[in-house]
Structure 1
Amino acid sequence: MDLRQLKYFVKIVEQRSMSRASVELHVAQSALSSQIASLETRLRQKLLIRRSTGVVPTEAGQALYKHAVAILRQVERATHDVERSGGEPSGPASLGLPVVVEDLLALDLFVAARARLPQVTLHLSEGMSYLLKEMVLQGRLDMTVTYQFEPSPGIVEHPLFTEMIYLVSPAKSGVKPHKEMSLAQAVQYPLVLSSPQTAMRRVVQAGLAAANLTVTALAEIDSLKTLVDVVEQGHAHTVLPASALQRQLKTDGGDSLVLTPLDISRNVVLCTSEHLPLGVAGTAVYELLEDVVRKALKERRWLGIGPSTGSPSG
C-alpha cells in the first residue's frame, strides 16, 4: 500500500469530511477521492461511506484505520530515529496511565523527564486501563501502565510493583481497624464499587469467584473522587488499591476513613506492543519510568506497595 494513500485515508477518517481533510492536507478534493478510490480497488473493499452527517469508515475501513495509524506512526518514528541517530534521545514519547495510578506516577515521571530527557516531548494519556492497552496495540500509544490480570495477545508486560487492596470504610460506621480482613468478610458491608469493566472490579470479581461468593453493589461509580466522597460521608464502603489511597495511608486514614487491608492484591505492569518496537524516545521513557519506580520502592515512599517478582529492584 502507498503511504500517501494511508495518510490521506487516516486524515479523512479523523476529520469525518473529505473537504476538511482536503484543507488540512493542502490537496485538492478530487485528488483525495481518486486516491481513496485507488486504495479501495487495491484492497477490493469499500472503505468509506459518505453521509449527510459526514464521512464514516465501513467495517473494513475501521480495520484499515487501526493499522494505518500504527504504520504511519512507525514510519515517522523510524525516520526521526535515523535522522537523530547518535544524539541524545529526542522527539515524542507517549505513556498511558490509568486514573488510579496517575497520582502515584505522573508528577515524578514528568519532573524526571524534564531533568534527564529535555529533548523528549512526553505525552501522558489518562484513561481506563483496557482502553489504554488497546491504544498500545493500535500504535496510538508507545506504552501504558496497567494491571496484570490475564495475558493479552500482542502485549508484552514488564512487572513494576504489587499493591495491597483495602476495604475503605467511613469512620462513623464503627468499623475497627484490622490487621487484615478477608474479601468474604468485606462483602458483608454495603459497598459501592467501580463498574465491571474496570481493572479494580475485575480483581474483586476474581477474588469472589475463587471463594464462590457474589456481591451486589449499591451503586457502580467509576470516579475515584466520587467513590471516596460517598464513603467519607458515611453512605457506604468501597474497595480500593493502595495507589488510590496514599494520602489517607500517610495520615493513618485521617478522621473520616478507616482502611483495612484485604487478603487480595494486584500487580501493576508496564505494557508495550509485541509487534511495534519502541523508538529511541520511547525506550528512554520506558527506562526512566523503571528508575522512578525503583527509587520510590527503595525509599519506601509508597505505603502498601512493594516490589513485584522480577520488578526493578535497588
Structure 2
Amino acid sequence: MNLRRLKYFVKIVDIGSLTQAAEVLHIAQPALSQQVATLEGELDQQLLIRTKRGVTPTEAGKILYAHARAILRQCEQAQLAVVNAGQALNGQVSIGLAPGTAASSLTMPLLQTVREQLPEVLVYLHENSGSSLNDKVMHGQLDMAVLYDRAPTAGITSTMLLKEELYLIGAGDSPGHNVDLADVAQMNLFLPRDYSAVRKRVDEAFSLRRLSARIIGEIESISTLTAAVASGMGVTVLPESAARVLVSSTNAWMSRITSPTLNLPLSLNVSSRLPLSPSAQAVKNILLSLLSKPTIEDRELMLVG
C-alpha cells in the first residue's frame, strides 16, 4: 500500500463514484480503476462493489476506509507540524455541535476567544445529530464534537462536561414549577426522532413508569419546534439550556420534570485513534475553559442564594 492509493480509495468511497472521483482527482478512470485493482491485489480482498448507481465499500473496504482516513489524517498533521514548527498555530479546526446543547450558547464566545488568542486558526462549526457527529469524529471529518452522549462508543474518547436536567416546555397554562411524568403522558408531545439522546431518555423514562407518550409530531429543527410549541398544539421536552433559549424567544413556560427527574450528560468527544493537531488541542482547551466558567444565570443564582 502507498499513500497515493489510499488517498484515491478514500476519495472514491466519499464520492461513491469512480467516474466522478477520477474527475476530482484529475486522473483517467481506467488508471484509477487499476489503482484500486492493485490495492485489492495487495490486500487479497475485494474492496468495492460496483453497481450501475456507483460504488460502495465491502466490509473489508469499510475497515480499510476507516484506517486510511486515520493514516492520511496523521500524515497531514505530521506535515503541518513540521512546516509550522516555531510558528504561530494555524489551519482549520472543525467542531461538531448537537442542536439544542448547552455548548450552542458558547458559539460566539468560542469564536471570539479563538480570534483573540489564535488569529491564524479558522474554526468550522457543524451542527448535526449526535450519532452522525460521532461517526464524523471517528473518520477524521471532525476534530471534536459536543453532544449528549450516554453510552461509551468504540473509537471515541469522551469527557463529560456537565449534566443537564430535562424540562417540559409549553404555551398557555403552566402546570407549575414541577410536573410529574405521569401528567406529561396526558399531553400532546413534539419530540425529536428516536435516535436523539433526548428522545431515548424520554422513551426510557416512560417505559420504566409503564406510561405511553402521546407523540403528535417529530421535529428536529429548533426553530420549527419553537413555532410548534408557540402554537399551543403541544409541548416538548428539552435540556435546561435549550429550554431557556426557547422560552426567552416566546411566551412559553418551562417546568422541571419530576417522578423521576431526567438528566443527560453533555460530553466533549474526540477520536481515540486520531491525535489532535496542536491547533485543535489549543481550541479544545479554550472550549473546556469556557464551559468551566459560570454563566450569567449561574452567577445570578449564586448571588440570590
**TM bracket, shorter-chain basis:** 0.7 to 0.9
- Whether the 8 Å contact between 1:157 and 1:271 is mirrored in structure 2 is yes
Going from structure 1 to structure 2, the CA distance change for 1:303 and 1:219 (only over 3 Å counts) comes to: farther
Paired residues, number:
297
- Counterpart residue number, 1:105: 106
Code of the residue aligned with 1:177 in structure 2: it is G
CA distance in 2, matches of 1:191, 1:303: 32
- Counterpart residue number, 1:311: none
Deviates more, 1:138-147 or 1:56-65: 56-65
- Counterpart residue number, 1:117: 118
Q: Secondary structure of the residue that 1:99 maps to in structure 2?
A: coil
Q: Secondary structure of the residue that 1:217 maps to in structure 2?
A: strand
Code of the residue aligned with 1:175 in structure 2: it is S
- Whether the 8 Å contact between 2:226 and 2:246 is mirrored in structure 1 is no
- Whether the 8 Å contact between 1:154 and 1:274 is mirrored in structure 2 is yes
Code of the residue aligned with 2:252 in structure 1: it is L
Deviates more, 1:63-72 or 1:269-278: 63-72
CA distance in 2, matches of 1:134, 1:257: 35
What's the offset of the Cα at 1:134? 1.5
- Counterpart residue number, 1:177: 176
What's the offset of the Cα at 1:149? 1.0
- Counterpart residue number, 2:163: 162
CA distance in 1, matches of 2:132, 2:187: 31
- Whether the 8 Å contact between 2:192 and 2:198 is mirrored in structure 1 is yes
- Counterpart residue number, 2:22: 22
Going from structure 1 to structure 2, the CA distance change for 1:214 and 1:203 (only over 3 Å counts) comes to: same
CA distance in 1, matches of 2:132, 2:63: 17
Task: Calculate the TM-score normalised by the size of structure 2.
Answer: 0.88
- Counterpart residue number, 1:309: none
CA distance in 1, matches of 2:205, 2:300: 22
Alignment of 1:300-311 (within 5 A): 300=297
What's the offset of the Cα at 1:288? 0.8
Alignment of 1:80-159 (within 5 A): 80-101=80-101, 103-159=104-160
Code of the residue aligned with 1:275 in structure 2: it is R
- Counterpart residue number, 1:289: 287
CA distance in 2, matches of 1:56, 1:156: 28
- Whether the 8 Å contact between 1:246 and 1:303 is mirrored in structure 2 is no
CA distance in 1, matches of 2:191, 2:115: 37
What's the offset of the Cα at 1:23? 3.6
CA distance in 1, matches of 2:300, 2:219: 25
- Counterpart residue number, 2:255: 260
Q: Secondary structure of the residue that 2:94 maps to in structure 1?
A: strand
CA distance in 1, matches of 2:150, 2:210: 19
Task: Calculate the TM-score normalised by the size of structure 1.
Answer: 0.85
**Percent pairwise identity:** 37
- Whether the 8 Å contact between 1:242 and 1:303 is mirrored in structure 2 is no
Going from structure 1 to structure 2, the CA distance change for 1:166 and 1:26 (only over 3 Å counts) comes to: same
Alignment of 1:41-56 (within 5 A): 41-56=41-56
What's the offset of the Cα at 1:111? 1.7
Going from structure 1 to structure 2, the CA distance change for 1:21 and 1:153 (only over 3 Å counts) comes to: closer
Alignment of 1:223-242 (within 5 A): 223-242=221-240
- Whether the 8 Å contact between 2:186 and 2:214 is mirrored in structure 1 is no
CA distance in 1, matches of 2:169, 2:119: 40
CA distance in 1, matches of 2:7, 2:271: 22
Deviates more, 1:233-242 or 1:105-114: 105-114
Going from structure 1 to structure 2, the CA distance change for 1:248 and 1:217 (only over 3 Å counts) comes to: closer
- Counterpart residue number, 1:10: 10
- Whether the 8 Å contact between 1:13 and 1:56 is mirrored in structure 2 is yes
What stretches of structure 1 of length at least 5 have no aligned partner?
305-314
CA distance in 2, matches of 1:155, 1:185: 38
Going from structure 1 to structure 2, the CA distance change for 1:302 and 1:290 (only over 3 Å counts) comes to: farther
CA distance in 2, matches of 1:232, 1:70: 46
Q: Secondary structure of the residue that 1:85 maps to in structure 2?
A: coil
What stretches of structure 2 of length at least 5 have no aligned partner?
none
Deviates more, 1:161-170 or 1:51-60: 51-60
What's the offset of the Cα at 1:303? 9.3
What's the offset of the Cα at 1:298? 5.2
- Counterpart residue number, 1:278: 276
What's the offset of the Cα at 1:156? 1.4
Q: Secondary structure of the residue that 1:191 maps to in structure 2?
A: strand
CA distance in 2, matches of 1:229, 1:159: 32
CA distance in 1, matches of 2:49, 2:114: 43
Deviations 1:166-208 (A, max 9, x none): 111211xx23432x22323322222121111111101212322
CA RMSD of aligned residues (A): 2.4
